[in-house]
Amino acid sequence: MFLKQGWHLLRAIIMNFFNEGCPMMASGLAYISLLAIVPLMTVTLSILAVFPAFKGIGDQIQKFIFDNFVTSSAQTIHQYLHAFMSQATKLSLPGTLSLLITAVLMIFAIEYNFNKIWHIQKHRNAIQAFLMYWAVLTLAPILIGVGFFITSTTLHIVINKTITSIFPYLFTFLALTLLYTLVPNCKVKIRYAMPGAIIATILFELAKHGFAFYITNFPTYTLIYGALAAIPIFLVWLYLSWLIVLFGASVSHTLQQ
């Protein structure tokens, strides 16, 4: 009976994943992410720079993200992104506003696609949307900075190795749980969001190692694109990452139903 119920649940999750067009959603989100990653990281670093206690935290965050959440084959893109962000800090006011708009469009695209998965037709009103976007763009960097500040000071001496090994998985799990709980314009109970976040976290780690193994042993992109291979590799990695995030969302939605 348990196996039968598990099979029906898995079948429902997969059907929901494909019926809602999640592979197509992932391709759109990957493209938008490629455009928005520099604005988002620039906004994050700019906010952290306001607080003297967070001096140097921005570099730690960048290193942490690329060491733990980006497959090793795509990490060469880090040099390009760092150069882009250095140029972004020199922009005029209109250029800065365009960066903010790009970052907001990224969040709007995530909300729009999550609402489609949860079959929500009604979107947030302007005030609600503004508050959520403002919270993501301002409070999230501060919370991340606090987390890194604590990790690099008080807990650094005591449990540095434990934190280093567990924190990436815990961070992924908590971020996905909040994403599945708060982004859809409906009430999503945390007990339904957590299983989707757990599955997505596991799949994310498997995909990171599997993708790195494939690129290392079957260097198709390197042979075709040469020195520019980092860009298509990074874009494919973004696509796989969004596929996993949306699959976790399908898990949470199916469990809630």
**Overall domain count for the chain:** 1
Given this model, what pLDDT does residue 246 score?
94
Confidence bin at 217 (pLDDT 50/70/90): confident
Exposure letters 88-106 (e unless 16+ CB within 10 A, then b):
beeeeeeebeebeebbbeb
Distance CA 150, CA 139 (A): 17
Cα–Cα dist 249/246, whole Å: 5
- Mean pLDDT, rounded, for 205-231: 73
Residue 174 has pLDDT above 80, yes or no: yes
- For the chain, give the mean pLDDT: 75
pTM of the full predicted structure? 0.79
Q: Indicate the residue type of 245.
A: V
Give the pLDDT of residue 214. Answer: 77
> Which tokens belong to 199?
């599955």
Residue 225 has pLDDT above 70, yes or no: no
Residue 135, by phi and psi: left (phi above 0), alpha (psi -120 to 50) or beta? Answer: alpha
CA distance 237 to 36: 15
pLDDT classification of 182: cutoffs 50, 70, 90? confident
Condensed to tens digits (0 to 9), the pLDDT of residues 141-157 reads 555 555 555 555 554 55
What is the rounded distance in angstroms from the CA atom of residue 175 to the CA atom of residue 147? Answer: 13
* pLDDT score, position 179: 86
How much is the pLDDT for 2?
64
pLDDT tens per residue, range 5-52: 778 888 888 888 898 889 999 999 888 887 777 777 776 666 666 666
Best-predicted range by mean pLDDT among 117-126, 170-179, 208-217, 229-238?
170-179
- Report the pLDDT value the prediction gives residue 251, as an integer from 0 to 100: 93
Q: Are 93 and 250 in contact (CB under 8 A)?
A: no
Q: From the centroid of its chain, how far is CA 108? A: 14
Residues 75, 66: contact at Cβ < 8 Å? yes
Domain that holds residue 24: 2-256
Q: How confident is the model at residue 232 (pLDDT cuts 50, 70, 90)?
A: confident
pLDDT of residue 32: 85
